[in-house]
């Protein structure tokens, strides 16, 4: 994996920064959900945090030959108030990635014929669509004062594809990984 063009490299660095912060933010919001007696929403945050780690790792790996320091500017959501608002931050962050960030980054990578970056951005955007839907359902429950159900979540360690137990496929539909390698939460 490697990258040759400066613009795609910048987008990879920014996406790495954004995914890294999302990973951290979701772990903090998971603990907050636990404190509010929403342990299953806490599990959802931890599952998605793992998916964001996979995205950050993929972007970082594509940049492996770009050795040295960089200042990284990336979108970040702030706030630690209550789980309903934290979930709104999560939904907003995911939708920004789905509707704005990754479509632009993907097109840049395609234009610059950066196959590895294109794959890394593609993996991420497909997972973020699911994350937005999972967080929306969780927010509906939290608004009504309820936790979500106790179904396990499964996350593909290669691309971050995230599903509930009942929807676990034989092979990851995004990257082809076998279900045996999925991590459960």
Which residues contact Fe ion (rule: CB under 5 A)? 94, 128, 131, 156, 158-159, 161, 172, 174-175, 177
- Over its C-alpha atoms, the chain yields an Rg (Å, rounded) of 16
Q: How far is the CB of 51 from Fe ion (least distance, A)?
A: 6
Q: Smaller CB distance to Fe ion: residue 20 or 112? A: 20
The CB-of-52 to Fe ion minimum distance in angstroms stands at: 5
Q: Residue length, the chain?
A: 185
Nearer to Fe ion, 47 or 84 (CB): 47
Residues 6+ away with beta carbon under 8 Å from 55: 15, 19, 120, 123, 124, 127, 160
The secondary element (H helix, E strand) that includes residue 163 is strand 162-164
- Smallest separation (angstroms) from Fe ion to the CB of 67: 28
Reduced to 3 states (helix: H, G, I; strand: E, B; else coil), residue 122 is: helix
Residue placing its CB nearer to Fe ion in the complex, 112 or 160: 160
């Amino acid at each position: 994996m490697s990258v040759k063009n400066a613009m795609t490299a910048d987008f990879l660095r920014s996406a790495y920064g954004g995914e890294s912060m999302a990973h951290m933010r979701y772990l903090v919001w998971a603990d907050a959900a636990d404190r509010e007696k929403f342990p299953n929403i806490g599990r959802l945050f931890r599952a998605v945090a793992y998916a964001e780690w996979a995205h950050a790792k993929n972007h970082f790996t594509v940049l492996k030959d770009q050795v040295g320091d960089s200042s990284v500017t990336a979108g970040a959501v702030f706030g630690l108030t209550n789980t309903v608002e934290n979930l709104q931050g999560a939904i907003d962050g995911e939708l920004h990635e789905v509707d704005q960030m990754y479509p632009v980054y993907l097109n840049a990578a395609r234009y610059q014929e950066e196959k590895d970056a294109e794959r890394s951005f593609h993996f991420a955007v497909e997972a973020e669509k699911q994350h937005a839907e999972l967080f929306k359902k969780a927010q509906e429950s939290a608004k009504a004062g309820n936790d979500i159900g106790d179904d396990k979540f499964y996350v593909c360690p290669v691309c971050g594809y995230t599903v509930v137990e009942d929807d676990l496929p034989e092979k990851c539909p995004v990257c082809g990984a076998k279900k045996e390698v999925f991590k459960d939460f």
